[in-house]
Structure 1
Amino acid sequence: MASIFFTGSADGLGQLAAKALIEQGYQVVLHARNAERARHAMLNAPGAAHVIVGDLSDIDETKRVAEAANAWGRFDAVIHNAGVYQAPARTVFMVNTLAPYILTCLIRRPRRLMYLSSGMHLQGWASLESFTAAGGRISYSDTKLHVLMLCKAVARKWPDVYANAVDPGWAPAKMGGRGAPDDLQEGYATQTWLAVSDDPRAKVSGRYFRHRAESPYNPQADDLMLQERLLSRCGALTGVAFPA
């Protein structure tokens, strides 16, 4: 039975995707940023195997999340779902860019990796010169480009892993709001499909998906020099080097 770890699965699309996989019989480990949200997550996702607690806006806590994930065991899939939108620049940068970098580096390598990007990444800029612990002038759109760049770098460096990025669309979940126009189920269906499917279309790497189909993306993500600079800057800020 495949085991799957979801960051940011206390509510929203992360929890909906986790619940869908639990209902299919998979072993799912949740994540929440504090103990209260962890209790809420377990109550609302009956059948979840465990919940790991840690605030991804803090570098040390993010490292402890990786330690707890490794203590649980090796996962077949890790879904970097956690993200924030309306928050201070430092929090957006930490959660959306640095946390998935740290967890990718420190969690034992799974067979499949998914990174939640956004259609807003199309307006993003790599902004690597702005990398500071305070977030600088980095926007939400920039961070969602960063995570796609990270995904592309992982796919290139780890050929034994299926690493892909997902645009969930503007779904009527917590972040998108009730008035969002996209289909709620389509907002999480791609994550569950990429996590476990044997469909040849899902067993690929370095791709950008929206609603289970490959989608156009910001061409900056394919710039190998920018990818390497991203890894280097993230490593310098976090003290975590990308594994060979």
Structure 2
Amino acid sequence: MARIFITGSADGLGQMAAKMLVNQGHQVVLHARNQKRGEEALKKVPGAENVLTADLSDMEETKQLAEKVNVLGRFDTIIHNAGVYQVSGDLIFAVNTLAPYILTCLIQKPKRLVYLSSGMHLSGDYGLKNMESGRVSYSDSKLHGVILCMATARKWSDVYSNAVDPGWVPTKMGGPGAPGNLQKGFETQVWLAVNNDEEAKVSGCYFYHKKQKYHVPEATNVQVQEQFLNLCKKITGVGFPE
């Protein structure tokens, strides 16, 4: 049995992954944006151990969330699932880029890390020009997640750190007409979180439906990674623990 914390698990893919993990007998702690959504999340995922609340668009709340997670003890897996799409660039940057960076840095190191990305990362700017202004595109933010995943895999050799493209699936974010396979969209998160298949016990990989897939090669460039980490440190005041 594993202990797993999942950001953005009040609905969508995060909630579906949480339900599957609970049904498999794992201890799952949920995350929601506020108390009302947290209460609803616990009702929708019976058997979840707890729910923690924080608005990931607020840097201080995100830092406090890391403290709340650490109070509960060390987790085996952290799934960075939370994300926003059709909102302002500064909100995308806060939730999709800075929040997973802050939480990765401040939460006790788990055995496994899973970062939700997207095929749209392929058109993100690996030059990171928009990070200084804090107004990034959704594609930029999903590339940032892959860069963070790859940097973590390089720096923490004792952690399995991987990124997942769930596909364009019919969630609230994806819309009802999305053509992707919803089941496969969250199953890969679950598989990477707890499975002992040799294919899942890897690090620094990008997955789509349990298969490794092409990602922007610059994400593995050490200079790009270090530039990204330094910019995140400058903006958040939080450094990456070596």
Matched, 1:44 2:44: yes
Post-superposition offset of 1:128? 2.3
User: 1:179 aligns to what SS in structure 2?
Assistant: coil
Q: Which residue of structure 1 aligns with residue 237 of structure 2?
A: 239
Q: Which residue of structure 1 aligns with residue 84 of structure 2?
A: 84
RMSD (Å) for aligned C-alpha atoms: 0.8
Post-superposition offset of 1:127? 4.3
Post-superposition offset of 1:175? 1.1
**For 1:161-200, what aligned pairs fall within 5 Å after superposition?**
161-200=159-198
**AA paired with 2:210?**
R
Structure 1 CA distance, aligned partners of 2:208 and 2:98? 23
Q: Which residue of structure 1 aligns with residue 3 of structure 2?
A: 3
Q: Which residue of structure 2 aligns with residue 209 of structure 1?
A: 207
Structure 2 CA distance, aligned partners of 1:225 and 1:103? 22
Q: Which residue of structure 2 aligns with residue 218 of structure 1?
A: 216
TM-score (norm 1): 0.97
| Number of aligned residues | 242
TM-score (norm 2): 0.98
Structure 1 CA distance, aligned partners of 2:170 and 2:11? 13
**AA paired with 1:50?**
N
Over residues 223-242 of structure 1, what are the superposed CA-to-partner deviations in whole Å (9 max), with x where a residue is unaligned? 11010000000001000000
Matched, 1:126 2:100: no
Post-superposition offset of 1:172? 1.0
User: 2:114 aligns to what SS in structure 1?
Assistant: strand
User: 2:162 aligns to what SS in structure 1?
Assistant: strand
In structure 2, relative to structure 1, the CA distance for the partners of 1:127 and 1:89 (3 Å cut) is farther
**AA paired with 2:78?**
V
Structure 2 CA distance, aligned partners of 1:187 and 1:174? 14
**AA paired with 1:207?**
C
Runs of 4+ in 1 over 4 A off after TM superposition: none
Higher deviation after alignment, 123-132 or 3-12? 123-132
**AA paired with 2:98?**
L
User: 2:223 aligns to what SS in structure 1?
Assistant: helix
> Quick check: 1:127–1:142 contact (8 Å CA) kept in 2?
no
Matched, 1:142 2:140: yes
Post-superposition offset of 1:174? 1.5
Over residues 85-137 of structure 1, what are the superposed CA-to-partner deviations in whole Å (9 max), with x where a residue is unaligned? 011111100000000000000000000000000000011112423224x623x
> Quick check: 1:76–1:112 contact (8 Å CA) kept in 2?
yes
Higher deviation after alignment, 141-150 or 213-222? 213-222
Over residues 28-81 of structure 1, what are the superposed CA-to-partner deviations in whole Å (9 max), with x where a residue is unaligned? 000001011101100100000000000000110000110000001100000000
Structure 2 CA distance, aligned partners of 1:88 and 1:62? 19
- Percent pairwise identity: 60
Post-superposition offset of 1:196? 0.5
Q: Which residue of structure 1 aligns with residue 55 of structure 2?
A: 55
User: 1:194 aligns to what SS in structure 2?
Assistant: helix
> Quick check: 1:5–1:79 contact (8 Å CA) kept in 2?
yes
Over residues 4-40 of structure 1, what are the superposed CA-to-partner deviations in whole Å (9 max), with x where a residue is unaligned? 0000000000000000000000000000010111011
**AA paired with 1:92?**
I
Structure 2 CA distance, aligned partners of 1:85 and 1:38? 21
Q: Which residue of structure 2 aligns with residue 64 of structure 1?
A: 64
User: 1:39 aligns to what SS in structure 2?
Assistant: helix
> Quick check: 1:208–1:214 contact (8 Å CA) kept in 2?
yes
